[in-house]
Amino acid sequence: MYITSQYCISAQHSSSGFNFSQAPESPAENHFLAIEPPYSFIPVSSLRRMGKLVRMGLGAALPLLQNTTPSAIIMATANAGKDDCVNFLNQIIEYDEGMLTPLNFVQSTPNSLAGQIGLISQNRGYNITHVQLGHAFENALLDAQMWLTDHPETQVLLGAADDLNRYHELYEQKAGWVKAKSEGENNFLDSNTPGSFHGEAATMFMTSLSAKNAILKIAAVEIWDGEDEKDLTDRVERFLTAHHKGASQPVLYSGENGDCRILKYYNLMEKSILDGAKFRYKQACGEFPTSTSFALWLAGESYLQKKWPLTLLKNGTVPDQMENILIYNCYKGIQHSLILVEPV
Amino acid sequence: MSRRIAVTGIGMVSAIGNDVPGHLDSLKQGRTGISQLENFPSRYAGKIPVGEIKINTLILSKELGLNNKGLTRTTLLAMKALREAVVYSALTPEIIASKETAIINANTVGGMCLTDEMYADSRPETPPSPYIPSYSFAATAVFFQKFYGCKGIMNTINTACSSSANSIMYGARLMRAGLAKRALVGGSDSMAKFTINGFNALRILSNAPCRPFDANRNGLNLGEGAAYLVLEWEDDAQEKPIYGYVAGYGNTNDSHHASALSSEGFGPSLAMQMALDSAGIPPKEINYINAHGTATENNDLVESVAMKKIFGEVPPFNSSKCLTGHTLGAAGALEACISLLCLKEQQIFPATGFSQTIPETGLIPETKLTGIPLRYIMSNSFGFGGNCSSLIFSKS
pLDDT digits (tens, 9 = 90+) for B286-319: 999 999 999 999 999 999 999 999 999 999 999 9
Q: Write down the pLDDT at residue A274.
A: 75
CA atoms within 13 A on the CB side of A276: 24
Rounded CA gap, B119 and B116, in Å?
5
User: Nearest by CB to B194, which of A92, A114, A175?
Assistant: A92
A143 contact residues in B (CB cutoff 8 A): 170, 173
Q: Which residues of chain A have pLDDT under 70?
A: none
Say whether both A156 and A231 belong to one domain.
Answer: no
Can you give the CATH number for the domain in which B253 is found? 3.40.47.10
Tell me, what DSSP letter sits at residue B222? B
Three-state SS string across chain A, please? CEEEEEEEECCCCHHHCCCCCCCCCCCECCECCCCCCCCCCCCHHHHHHCCHHHHHHHHHHHHHHCCCCCCEEEEECCCCCHHHHHHHHHHHHHCCCCCCCCHHHHCCCCCHHHHHHHHHCCCCCEEEEECCHHHHHHHHHHHHHHHHHHCCCCEEEEEEEECCCHHHHHHHHHCCCECCHHHHCCCHHHCCECCECECCEEEEEEEECCCCCCCEEEEEEEEEECCCHHHHHHHHHHHHHHHCCCCCCCEEEECCCCECCCHHHHHHHHHHHCCECEEECHHHHCECCCHHHHHHHHHHHHHHHCCCCHHHEEECECCCCCCCEEEEEEECCCEEEEEEEEEC
Residues B120 and B269 in one domain: no
**Contact assessment for residue B299 and residue B261, using Cβ atoms and an 8 Å cutoff:** yes
Cβ-nearest to B158 among A86, A116, A131: A131
- Do B262 and B175 lie in one domain? The reply is no
A224 contact B CB<8A:
yes
Last residue of a domain, one of A148, A174, A208: A208
Do A201 and A237 share a structural domain? Answer: no
Residue among A119, A133, A142 minimizing CB distance to B255: A119
For residue B116, the chain A residues in CB contact (below 8 A) are: 93
Assess B147–A contact: CB distance below 8 Å, yes or no: no
Judgement on whether residues A162 and A26 belong to the same structural domain of the protein: yes
Chain B nearest-CA distance from A88, in A, is 8
**A46 Cα to chain B: minimum distance (Å):** 12
What is the dihedral angle through the alpha carbons of B179, B185, B191, B193, rounded to the nearest 10 degrees?
A: 10
Give the distance from residue B364's alpha carbon to the nearest chain A alpha carbon, in angstroms: 29
Residues in chain B with CB shorter than 8 Å from the CB of A121 are: 255
Residue with the bigger pLDDT between A275 and B129: it is B129
Among candidates A82, A126, A226 on the partner chain, residue whose Cβ is nearest the Cβ of B251: A126
Collect all residues of chain B within an 8 Å Cβ-Cβ radius of residue A125.
Answer: 252-253
Interface contact B179-A142, CB threshold 8 A: yes
Helix (H, G, I), strand (E, B) or coil at B341: helix
pLDDT, residue A303, reads 98
Touching B: A residues 109-168, CB under 8 Å: 109-112, 114-116, 118-119, 121-133, 135-136, 139, 142-143, 145-146, 149, 167
Chains A, B: CB contacts within 8 A come to 195
Same domain, B50 and B106: yes
**pLDDT of B110 higher than 90:** no
Contacts of A142 in chain B (CB under 8 A): 153, 174, 179
* Residue A71 at interface with chain B, using a CB cutoff of 8 Å: no
| Residues B225 and B298 occupy one common structural domain | no
Phi first, then psi, for residue B36 (nearest 5°) are -95, 150
Residue A196 lies in a domain: yes
Tell me how far apart the alpha carbons of residues B253 and B326 are, in angstroms, rounded to a whole number. 20
Q: Are residues B202 and B253 in the same domain?
A: no
Chain A within 8 Å of B135 (Cβ-Cβ)? Answer: yes
Name every chain A residue with its beta carbon within 8 A of the beta carbon of B42.
97
Q: Tell me, what CATH number does A204's domain have?
A: 3.40.47.10
Residue A131 lies in a domain: yes
Q: What is the mean pLDDT of chain B?
A: 96
Instruction: Tell whether A31 is covered by a domain.
Output: yes
> Are A48 and A190 within one domain?
yes
Total tally of structural domains belonging to chain B? 2
- Torsion angle defined by CA atoms of residues A26, A29, A30 and A33, in that order, rounded to the nearest 10 degrees: -60
My answer on whether A59 and A187 are in the same domain is yes
Whether A256 contacts A282, CB under 8 Å: yes
Instruction: State which amino acid sits at residue B166.
Output: N
Return the sign of the alpha-carbon dihedral for residues A165, B385, A113, B225: positive
Structure confidence at residue A329 (pLDDT): 98
Cβ contacts (< 8 Å) between A178 and chain B: which residues?
none
Q: Are residues B220 and B260 in the same domain?
A: no
B172 half-sphere exposure, CB direction, 13 A CA radius: 26
pLDDT at B310: 98
Task: Assess whether pLDDT exceeds 70 at residue B1.
Answer: no
Whether residue A76 sits in one domain with residue A225: no
Q: Is residue A213 part of a domain?
A: no
Q: What range does the domain containing B45 cover?
A: 5-236
Residues A226 and A202 in one domain: no
Question: Which residues between 85 and 114 in chain A have a beta carbon less than 8 angstroms from any beta carbon of chain B?
Answer: 85-86, 88-93, 96-97, 99-102, 105-112, 114
- Asked if residue A147 belongs to a domain, the reply is yes
Same domain, B97 and B211: yes
Q: How many CB atoms lie within 10 A of CB B147?
A: 16
> Do A60 and A9 have their domain in common?
yes
For chain A, the domain total comes to 2
User: Among B236, B267, B295, where does a domain finish?
Assistant: B236
Q: What is the mean pLDDT of residues B338-343?
A: 98
B258/A106 touch (CB, cutoff 8 Å), yes or no = yes
Are B197 and A126 inside 8 Å of each other by CB?
no
Range of the domain at A261: 219-343
On whether both A83 and A190 belong to a single domain, the answer is: yes
Q: Are B341 and B284 contained in the same domain?
A: yes
pLDDT at A69: 97
- Answer yes or no: do A111 and B387 touch at CB < 8 A: yes
- Among A208-212, B192-196, B250-254, which is the least confidently predicted range? B192-196
B199 HSE (CA, 13 A, CB side): 32
Task: Indicate whether B123 and B262 sit together in one domain.
Answer: no
Q: Is-contact B189 B78, C-beta < 8 A?
A: no
Last-in-domain residue among B236, B254, B271: B236
A160 and A251 assigned to the same domain: no
Across the interface, which of A96, A105, A122 has its CB nearest the CB of B201? Answer: A105
Q: Which of A77, A101, A105 to mutate to test the interface with B (most CBs of B within 10 A)?
A: A105
Range 259-318 of B in CB contact (< 8 A) with A = 259, 266-267, 270
B77, B194: one domain? yes
Distance CA B88, CA B95 (A): 14
Residues 58-77 of B with CB under 8 A from A: none
Q: Could you say which of B186, B201, B236 is where a domain stops?
A: B236
Residue in A83, A89, A227 to test binding to B, most B beta-carbons within 10 Å: A89
Task: Spell out the alpha helix ranges (H) of B110-259.
Answer: 115-121, 139-148, 163-176, 193-201
| pLDDT 10s digits, A70-90 | 999 999 999 887 788 888 988
Is B180 within 8 Å of B152 (Cβ atoms)? yes
Does residue A118 form part of some domain? Answer: yes
d(CA B316, CA A202) in angstroms, rounded, equals 45
The alpha-carbon radius of gyration of chain B (Å, integer) is: 19
Same structural domain, A64 and A9: yes
Contact A131 B166 (CB under 8 A): no
Where a domain ends, among A208, A232, A253?
A: A208
Amino acid of residue B35: S
Same domain? For B227 and B352 the reply is: no
The DSSP bridge partners found for residue B6 are B232, B245
**Cβ distance of A107 and B112 shorter than 8 Å:** no
* Mutant choice from A109, A121, A146, A222 vs B, greatest count of B C-beta within 10 A: A109
Structural domain includes residue A117: yes
Residues B221 and B264 in one domain: no
